Amino acid sequence: MCGAHDAEDTVRKHAFVADLIPDAVLHVIDGAGHFPTLEAPDTVTETL
């Protein structure tokens, strides 16, 4: 799970790691940056 606007750990980096893990699913949280749990807590909770 990552924020769509994360400048430190980009979606591209998360996608790369997810591709290395069998059966992994990457969830990108729109409107969030590096701290999606603080920036979009309801969306994170629903995703979990």
- What is the tens place of the pLDDT at every residue in 1-48? 999 999 999 999 999 999 999 999 999 999 999 999 999 999 999 999
Q: Structurally, how many domains does the chain consist of?
A: 1
Any idea how long the chain is? 48
First to last CA, the chain: 9
Share of the chain above pLDDT 70, in %: 100
Cα–Cα distance for residue pair 17/38, rounded to 1 Å = 23
Parent domain of 13: 2-47
Provide the 10 A C-beta neighbour count for residue 37. Answer: 14
Q: What is the pLDDT of residue 2?
A: 97
